[in-house]
Structure formats: structure tokens, C-alpha cells
Amino acid sequence: MKRLASAAVALFGALLLVSLFLHLVPGDPIDVMLGEESTLVDREALRRAVGMDQPVHLQLWNFTRDFVTGELRTSVPPFQKKVMPSIGAALPLTLLLALAAMAVALVLALPLGVAAAARRGTAVDTAAMSAAVAGVALPRFWLGPVLIILFSLKLDWLPVSGAESWRHLVLPAFTLGTALSAFLARMTRAAMLEALREDYVTVARAKGLSPRAVLWRHAFRNALLPILTVLGLEFGALLGGAIVTEKVFAWPGMGTLLLSAIEKRDYNTVRATVLVFTCCYVLVNTLTDVAYALVDPRVRRRA
Amino acid sequence: MRLRLRSVGGRFGLAVAGLLVLVALLAPLLSPHAPEAMDLATELSPPRPGHPLGTGENGIDLLTHVLYGARVSLVVAAFAVALSALVGTVLGGLAGFMGGLVDEALMRLTDVLLAFPGMLLAIFITAVLGPSLTHVIFALSFTGWTGYARLARGQVLTLRERDYVQAARALGAGNARILFHHLLPNAAGPLVVQATSALPGAILAEASLSFLGLGAPPGTPSWGALVDQGTQYLLVAPHVALFPGLALALTVLGFHLLGDAVRDALDPKHLER
Amino acid sequence: MPPLLRPVVLSLLVALLPGCRAERPPPGITVLIESPPESLDDRFTLSAMGQRLAQLITPGLITLDDTSTPVPDLAESFRELSPTLVELTLRPGLTFHDGSALTTEDVKATYDSMGDPAIASPRAERYAAVERVEVVDARTVRFHLRRPYAPLLSELSLGILPAERASAAGKEVQGRAPIGAGPFRFASQPDEDHLTLVPFAGHYRGAPAIPRLHFRVVRDETTRVLELLKGRADLVLNALSPAVLPALEREPSLRVLTQEGTGFAYLGLNLRHGPLADARVRRALCHLVDVEPLVTYKFHGLAVPANGMLPRTHWAWAPVSGCRYDPKEAARLLDEAGYPDPDGPGGTPRLSFQLKTSTDRFRRSVALVLQEQLARGGVAVEVRSLEFGTFFNDIRRGNFELFTLKWASVIEPDLMRSAYHSGNVPTEANHWGGFNRGALRDGALDALLDEASRVSTPERQALYFQAQERLDVLVPVVPLWHESSVAVVSRRLQDFAPSAHGRFTPLALARMVEP
């Protein structure tokens, strides 16, 4: 219950915050849409059409009501399309991208982290951790174009942009997943080291189990839970990082929707996108908290 | 507080950080050209004598801009981190110390800010205020202080029940004195760790904002802005994005390693040897 | 694989399956555009992109050629019977995409709908001068005007709809699946980013040779370039920066086609107060700006230095002298205006200004060049790049000293009245909607521009000549250049001749060949 209340507060706060900023940002959807190519048009009629002649609190109330009932329309005349279908189309793509990035991160990070922990202090450890740190250091807006040049243009293996098949997913997922995988590899190593120090590992070793079995069956299994918890916590950051990645790869997800809505001053779409972003974030965080409570180390060890 | 950076990574990080500070200080001496010098005729030419890293848009010397870029990166990141740490520590410390409504209100505020994509907020703020380095610092601090606040609050909460605090209180020390003389100095270790590990993030964030055209004002040598220029010319002049991107990656890498080393040195829980 | 990973991977694969669509679209020409059209109904298009796409589906009575002269399109001929009466005759046998005949009733219904509050067209005001549309017979139609309004001919390019689609009841379906009499017929628009058109056999010039037109929105420029290089696109029109063109030109699979354009880039000046209120200072700035190197190196020759708003190909263009790059003359003017150089070249500037620009990369780099050029003449400039909404708001409200902007397409010379007439200064009263953003106020110019909007075409030309000479003296803005129309086409697209206005209509005359 308390969790629900705090989630509601976070959502409401986000809505207020984004509305406040939208209010502060100069320029309105009509100006921006007309832009420098603008022709002589009836500006006031357009403003009335999108409800911008109303006071701010009423605009907010209308937004909340329409958002909940799914009747929300964009703030961009002349055809104020419904917002929900756009979000319905964009959200799965962003979630797909985030999940794929996570998969990439796991595939890269787990072996690296485990290898580094198993051979702690050796060259393997140093190399793996250097690779991991290097991964954190690569800016996405730089890595993305470099990957496009390399794999799309020079090698012609993968498409440049868009979201038409699984092959379109590879480069964005890799770009988005690199930083996470670097972070995760370090986490994995730390969790493995901790697990390897535990009594049951010592016992397992004493029983004469092969080092490989000890490493994977005992230590890794126990290290996995904290790793997955961290993964949940990082999901929100991944959604944020998706904004830049989607821009680079023209991936039609929430980030693209949001950036173009900001650009167009499409107030309703900006508010709705941010709310959905925040919902995802809060939801994932809550789930992670719950999961964490469930797999609390003390509970786990007794089982 | 004595730092002993024994690991290879730590030494490398320290070397990179030192080099960066040196480059930032000596940029005018090291640079072959003035940062505002232009030559349209040599726009986007590859590395050659006179322009060891080639030229960028409007024929600016890339080496000069990469060297001067160190200044922007370092100054913005350092100020953003310092401001975040200051605001976060004071607010978090207060929240932990006072408890009650203040604590609740502050924690809800951090909830809201944490539930908000930080990059988005920074984009908003810089879009409202217009591009300038001060605004970038403000935007990054606006989203960055929450981590310190939570940390400081947690630290204060655990420390305030310790004997020496209780003793100080018994001796009649005022709240402010207890908070600033006893609690915060003892909470400093984790806060310093947090600040050092936040530096590379701040460097990247400044570059990202400049990449979006919302960071450094036009003409200011900034790595993010150079990569932004470069991505447009990836096909005709890949060097424009490559070199500043490498400088950025190297710097972030260095500060990361330094941050790790500082953490290992200050936080006994992470000691592995 | 660790057991916990399996569900994650499985669910990913499942999630991906619906995303797997056919890789190859049906054969046709793929056009990459940088932004989606806000509407395909010409009455609601506001952006150039919307209008250019609507023109393919719903052409108007009149179109404008490369010199911006009105020429017949669906109309066979037109005549100005008096300053307040225009008569047009339709081509014989016109049909809409659904096979029904296009008659003057449809023309009347289309234009009448512009004044209909239920339609609420944002462009309604342009037709305010039309008192009524009279159907003389099935092929003859007359426009009766309330007052003499010469620019009307340019406005008669509005796309003609079937009468039942023009009504308020037809608005929704026309917005979703438009019908017109254009060379291409609407086929599908599965989402905002994709639009497919097919040729219309009943077009008055016959069906276009291209079997299918795919428009795809690609917002990122590098991606547009790469799609062209990979052969996944056949046409990109005016959506690439000049710097990448030399690389594309070297590519054997691509061709770069150009045509002198009608856009007008300028350095805007705020005449409201301060030094810029003095014409000598404005002229001095104009003499300090050297457009030649910008055109040569930044545009690779794909632009023409401007001496005013109209391009030299325009029917109303006057060969005024303009202000050439001349730092000596600039120094003399500044001295005379009372801004001497305090300590010789370098050092303290004569004057300082702030130059506002949007975050557009190219725009910013140009601003830096202007900054450097003006600094050499002792005029210090601070460049501020603002996010577009913020920037544009400042410009409209007069909150600037210098700014760079462009008119995307200068077709109707009456635009000079919008941009330089004292009645069009943005104010609270016109909701900051006026286009005279620098606030030029000159009675003689006002009179010339007003008169030119009332008389018939040959007289207009003489008046616009005088107006341009007056503007050449007043220097309300520093004219920069007219950017060329640039099309990058694949080998599959043949016979595409880019238009000065950057239209897609030449696609109706182009062919597709399989390499």
C-alpha cells in the first residue's frame, strides 16, 4: 500500500514537473509547426482547436482525464490524432530494444565477469575488467554511427536503420547494451567473488567437486540473483539511454516519439510519453524491490 | 586521508586524470592554432602537416579543439559534481538529521526526480535556459544531487545513534554543530567515493548535451559538439568524430579507473586483497 | 545457458516474430523524406512536406513554373477579366481517382469549403479576398473578388477535391485516404512514417511510368545518406547537407541533380532601436559579410549569392546592385555613423551584437563564419544557438539583435509585403504573427508594395522593380544566398528533373529502370 502511494506520488510529481517545464519552454505547437516556412494562417483558431486558450490547471485536468480514458489527442492541429495508438506502437519497440540490449549485456557480461572472478588477479581478470571499463566509456552517440559504418556500410551485414526485421535490432541493441554489459560484468565479478568466499563453496570444494562444477553450479547460481536485481534497477537507465540510441538508428520507439514531440511542442504527447516512461520505471523498480525481498540472502540460504 | 593507488588501473586512471588537468591548463601553449581560427578552404581535410588531427567544420584545427575541449569537459564535470554533492549532502544530511516531515518531503522529491529520465530533464532545462556551460552545470546538478542526498541521509541515520554523537549531544552541542562537525565529516568517505565515480558520468552527460546542440555554445571547443559535427560527416571525414570521441572515451575510462581505485582505497568493504 | 536466462531469451524471440516483415517492398521508387506530412489534404497542409506530397495526389487549377509564373494545371487557361474577376477554363475530360468527372462544381465546392467554419482550414485567410466562386458552365469558373488582389493567381494552386469530399462530412475520409485528380493515387499509409502511391491512369497527361512510389520518413541525415549508398532508396530531395554531396557524387550508383532554388537565406537585423536603426550600420554589416567563400566551400557551389529576397530566376526579380563584400566601405560607413574603431584592427570592437540561431548544425556553423567575418571588420558577435521553439519565439517577439533564418520558398512576390511592410510588424495585436520581424517602417516602400498587390501582372513587375531598389537602399536584412534544389537519385530513377521549388511533381514524368 505504501509502495502504491509512493508510486502515485512519483507519477503525479513527474506530470507536474513536465508540465511546469513545458509551460516554461517558450514557443507553442502552432509556432513550431508553422516554423519558418509558415504561411498566413489563423493562429488563434488553431490555438483554440488544441485547447491552448484554456488556463493551465484546466489543461492539466483535461489531460489527466483524457489520458486515463484513452481519449487523449495530440496538441498538433489540424488533425489531432489520438496519442494512445502512437504510444501503443512505440512502447513495444522500446521495450523490445531494451530487452534485447539486456540480452546482449548478459551474453557479454556473464562470461566476462565469471572468468574474471575465477582467475582473479591474473591477466584474464585485468583484460576482462579493462574491456568492461572501456565499454562504459564509449558514448552511445559515437558508438552507434561507428557500428553503422563498420557493419552496415563496410561489411554490409546489417541494415542501417528502421525496425522492420530482427536484423534491424542487432546494432541498436548492441549500442544500447554495451554500457550496461560493462557495468554488469563488474557486478558479476564482485558477486562471484563474494559467492566464492561463502562456506558452502568451501564445503563443495572440500567434497572434491571439480572447480568447474563449483564455479558454475554453486557460486554462479548464487551470484545470479544479485545480478538480476541490478539488472532490474538498470532497466530504467536503459530506457533513458534508448532516447539517444533510437535517434541514431531511427528506431521508431518512445524516444523518437518523445524527441519529435518536444520538437513539435506537442504538449499532450510529451506529457503522455513521459508518464509512460515514468510508469515503466516505477513498475520495474517496484518489481525489483519485491524480487529483492523474495530472494533476500538469509531467506535464500535457509532454503 | 591517504590514498594508495596500487592497482594498475588506478595508476592508469591517475595518469589520465593528471594528463587531462595538465592539458586543460596548458591548452593555449600546446595548441598549434587559436581555437577560433577558421579557414573555409581547408574544411574537413584529413590529418596533414600543420593539422596533425585534420580539420573540422569551417576548417578549425581539430587538435586545438580536442586540447581545449579538455577544459570544458573537466570544468563542467567538476563543477556539476561539486554542486550536486554540496546540495545533495546538505539536503540529505538535514533530512536524515531532522527526520519527520522534512525527511518525508525530501525523499518523495528524490523519488520523483529518480523516476524521471535524467537526460530528459537535462534536455528540458537546457532547452529552456539556452545553451551555456553554466546552464549545463545547473541541469546536471539538478538531476545529480539526489544520489548524494540519499547516501548522506543513510549515513547520518546510522551515525547519529553512535556513541560519539550521543556524547556530543549530551555535552550540549547544537544541531548544526552535530550535523556539520560530527555527522557529515564521518559520512565523507562514501560521499567522496560517490563523487569520484560520478565524474565520468558528468563528463559523458556534458558531451551528450553538447551532442544534442544544447550544451556548449557554438564555437566553444567541446568533445560532444565535435562528435556531433563529426557524425554528420562520418562518410566524408570520419576523423572529425573519431578523435574527439577517442579523447572522450579515454577520459571517461581514466576517471572510471580512478574512481574505482579511490573506492577501493577508502571503502574497506571493497578491498579484495 | 543458465536456467533463468532461458525464459528471457524465449520471450525475446517471441516478441521479435511479429516484427519480421518481408524485407523487400514491392518494386517501385523509394523516396526518403525527413519529416512526415501532417496531412495529405491540401487544405490542412502547413509544412512544405505536406504540400509537396498533397500536390502529387490533388493538383490545383494552376501551378507555378520554375520562374514562379502561374501556369495552367487542371485549368486549360485563365484570364484576368478585371482586377476583381478571374476566369478559368478546365481541361476537357478530367476525372478523379475514383473515376468520377471533375467539374467546376467540384472547384466551387473546394474553394467554398475554405471559408466554412466546420472545415476550419488554417489557410482560410488567404482566400479572404474571394467574394464568391461562380460556375459559368461545366468547364468555366469565375472568381469574384471583394477587392483587387493580384496574388490570388498563386493561391489558385489549392488542390481540387471531389465536391462530397470537400464538405465537412467528407473531411475525415479525405484526411485518411485522399482522392484527387493528380498523377498519383493514394494506395496506403500504414503509419505516419510510410506512404505508398500508385500511378493514376486517368491523369490528363496519362499514367506516370513509375509503377509505385514509396515515401519513407528517415529523420537522421547520416541514415538517409547510408540508405542511398546501400541502394535502399532512389531519391532524396533537398534533405542532405552540401558537405556530403561530393562523396555521393563520386558514387557510381548515384547521381546528384541540381536546379537553382527559390529559398532565401538572410541575416535578420532588428531595426527597432540601437545602432541597427541606422541604415549605414546595416549597410556596413552587409559589406562585411563575404558570401562567396560560403557558397564555394560550404555549398560546393550549390547556392547563388542573393541580392534580395527574389532569386534571379523569378519573374519579378530586379537586377539591383546589392552590397558586395567591401570592408573599406564598411569601415567608412561605420566611422560616418559614429562607431569609430577605438584601437585599430583587433582589440576593442566598434560594435557588439548577439546573433541568435537555431540548434541546426549547418545553421550554427554558418553563424560562426559570419561571426568571424564581422569580427574582422571590428564588429564583435556573440553566437547564441537556441532550440528551435525558443529561437523562433524570440524572433517573433523582437527579442534579438541579429538572427539567421530563411524563407523556404519565395514564390509569390507579395511575400515582400508580408516581410517588409510596416503593417506586418509582429505585435500583440496580430498575436506576434506579422512577418516583418526586423520592424522595417518605410512609407514609400509600403505604398509600392500595396499598389503591387492590387494591379495586374505586367504593372506589378514594374512596381516590384522599384520596391527592390528601395529595399536595396534600406537594407532591412543582409541577403545571403538562394540555396539550390538538390536531388540525389539512384540509377533506377531516370528522367527526374528537380524543380526550383523542390517539388515531387517531376516524379510524374520520370521513369524507373531495373539496373
What would the pLDDT profile of B138-181 be if each residue is shown by its tens digit? 989 988 888 888 888 888 887 777 777 777 777 777 777 777 77
Per-residue confidence (pLDDT) for residue B58, from 0 to 100: 87
Counting Cβ atoms within 10 Å, is residue C25 exposed (0-12), middle (13-18) or buried (19+)?
middle
Per-residue confidence (pLDDT) for residue C3, from 0 to 100: 44
A44 lies within 8 A of chain C by CB: yes
A55 lies in the same domain as A162: no
- In this predicted structure, the answer to whether residue C19 has a pLDDT above a threshold of 50 is no
In a domain, A263, yes or no: no
Number of domain units in chain A: 2
Q: Which of A133, A143, A256, A285 to mutate to test the interface with B (most CBs of B within 10 A)?
A: A133
Burial B28-51 (b: 16+ CB within 10 A, else e): eeebebebeebbbebbbbeeeeeb
Cβ distance B116 to A17 less than 8 Å, yes or no, reads yes
Per-residue confidence (pLDDT) for residue B1, from 0 to 100: 39
A43 lies in the same domain as A124: no
The DSSP call for residue C380 is: E
Q: What integer best gives the mean pLDDT of chain C? A: 89
In a domain, A247, yes or no: yes
**CATH of B8-266 given 3.40.630.30, 1.10.3720.10, 3.40.50.970, 3.30.70.20:** 1.10.3720.10
Distance from CA of C247 to the nearest CA of B (A): 6
Q: What is the mean pLDDT of residues C427-455?
A: 90
Cβ distance B130 to C229 less than 8 Å, yes or no, reads no
**What's the rounded Cα separation, in Å, for the pair A85 and C59?**
31
A6 lies in the same domain as A143: no
- Nearest CB partner across the interface for A142, out of B111, B124, B227: B227
pLDDT in 10s for each residue of chain A, 303 residues: 566 776 777 777 777 777 777 777 666 666 666 655 444 456 666 666 666 666 777 777 777 777 777 777 777 665 567 788 888 888 888 888 988 998 888 888 888 888 888 777 777 787 777 777 777 778 888 888 788 778 877 777 877 677 777 888 888 888 888 888 888 888 888 888 877 777 777 777 777 777 777 777 777 777 777 777 777 767 777 877 787 788 778 788 888 888 778 777 777 888 888 888 778 877 777 777 676 666 555 444 433
Per-residue confidence (pLDDT) for residue C491, from 0 to 100: 93
For cell 513539435, name the residue: A264
Q: What is the mean pLDDT of residues C442-452?
A: 96
For cell 482566400, name the residue: C127
Please give the full DSSP string across C408-450, using - where no structure is assigned. S----TTHHHHHH-GGGS--TTTTT--S-TT----HHHHHHHH
- Nearest CB partner across the interface for A136, out of B120, B231, B256: B256
Distance from CA of B114 to the nearest CA of A (A): 9
Q: Which domain holds residue A50?
A: 1-73
Per-residue confidence (pLDDT) for residue C259, from 0 to 100: 94
pTM for this structure? 0.81
| Residues 416-445 in C contacting A (C-alpha not used; CB under 8 Å) | 418, 431, 433
- pLDDT greater at residue C460 or residue A149: C460
- The CATH number for A116's domain is 1.10.3720.10
Residue whose C-alpha is closest to residue C433's, from C482, C474, C397: C397
Residue whose C-alpha is closest to residue A146's, from A103, A175, A104, A166: A175
Q: Among B182-191, B194-203, C260-269, whose mean pLDDT is lowest? A: B182-191
In a domain, A141, yes or no: yes
Cβ distance B108 to A282 less than 8 Å, yes or no, reads no
- In this predicted structure, the answer to whether residue C31 has a pLDDT above a threshold of 90 is yes
Q: Which chain A positions have a beta carbon within 8 Å of B127's beta carbon?
A: 25, 262
Per-residue confidence (pLDDT) for residue A293, from 0 to 100: 65
Counting Cβ atoms within 10 Å, is residue C320 exposed (0-12), middle (13-18) or buried (19+)?
middle
C222 lies within 8 A of chain B by CB: yes
A122 lies within 8 A of chain B by CB: no
Domain end (from A73, A88, A121): A73
Cβ distance A6 to B108 less than 8 Å, yes or no, reads yes
A173 lies in the same domain as A231: yes
Cβ distance C122 to A77 less than 8 Å, yes or no, reads yes
Of chain C, the percentage scoring pLDDT greater than 90 comes to 67
Q: Which chain B positions have a beta carbon within 8 Å of A258's beta carbon?
A: 120
Give the model confidence (pLDDT) of C220-273 as tens digits: 787 788 889 888 899 999 999 888 898 899 999 999 999 999 999 999 999 998
In a domain, A298, yes or no: no
A52 lies in the same domain as A147: no
Q: Which band of pLDDT confidence, cut at 50, 70 and 90, is reported for residue C479? A: very high
| Residues 240-279 in A contacting C (C-alpha not used; CB under 8 Å) | 247-250, 252, 256, 260, 263, 265
Q: Among B60-74, C24-38, C49-63, C262-276, whose mean pLDDT is lowest? A: C24-38
- Nearest CB partner across the interface for A21, out of B124, B211, B238: B124
Per-residue confidence (pLDDT) for residue A53, from 0 to 100: 66
- Nearest CB partner across the interface for A142, out of B245, B256, B257: B245
| Element of type H or E holding B194 | helix B184-211
Of chain B, the percentage scoring pLDDT greater than 70 comes to 93
**C-alpha dist (Å) from residue C188 to A85, C55, C95, C165, C236:** 18, 17, 21, 18, 21
Domain range summary for chain B, segments of one domain joined by +? 8-266
Residue pair A180/A101 in contact by the 8 Å Cβ criterion:
yes
C300 lies within 8 A of chain B by CB: no
Q: Among A238-252, B60-74, C33-47, whose mean pLDDT is lowest? A: A238-252
Name the residue in chain A with its Cα closest to that of C39.
Answer: A79
Please give the full DSSP string across A95-145, using - where no structure is assigned. HHHHHHHHHHHHHHHHHHHHHHHHTTTSHHHHHHHHHHHHHHHS-HHHHHH
A238 lies in the same domain as A205: yes
- Nearest CB partner across the interface for C392, out of A31, A43, A260: A31
Per-residue confidence (pLDDT) for residue C47, from 0 to 100: 78
Residue pair A55/A31 in contact by the 8 Å Cβ criterion:
no
Per-residue confidence (pLDDT) for residue A34, from 0 to 100: 60
Cβ distance B131 to C359 less than 8 Å, yes or no, reads yes
In a domain, A215, yes or no: yes
- In this predicted structure, the answer to whether residue C358 has a pLDDT above a threshold of 90 is no
Per-residue confidence (pLDDT) for residue B117, from 0 to 100: 66
Q: Which band of pLDDT confidence, cut at 50, 70 and 90, is reported for residue B273? A: very low
A118 lies in the same domain as A52: no
Q: Which band of pLDDT confidence, cut at 50, 70 and 90, is reported for residue B2? A: very low
Q: What is the mean pLDDT of residues C372-395?
A: 88
Distance from CA of C494 to the nearest CA of B (A): 26
Per-residue confidence (pLDDT) for residue B256, from 0 to 100: 82
CA B261, B142, B89 angle in degrees (round to 5)? Answer: 55
Q: What is the mean pLDDT of residues B199-221?
A: 84
Per-residue confidence (pLDDT) for residue C99, from 0 to 100: 94
- Nearest CB partner across the interface for B218, out of C226, C243, C385: C385
In a domain, A23, yes or no: yes
| Residues 93-152 in C contacting A (C-alpha not used; CB under 8 Å) | 120-126
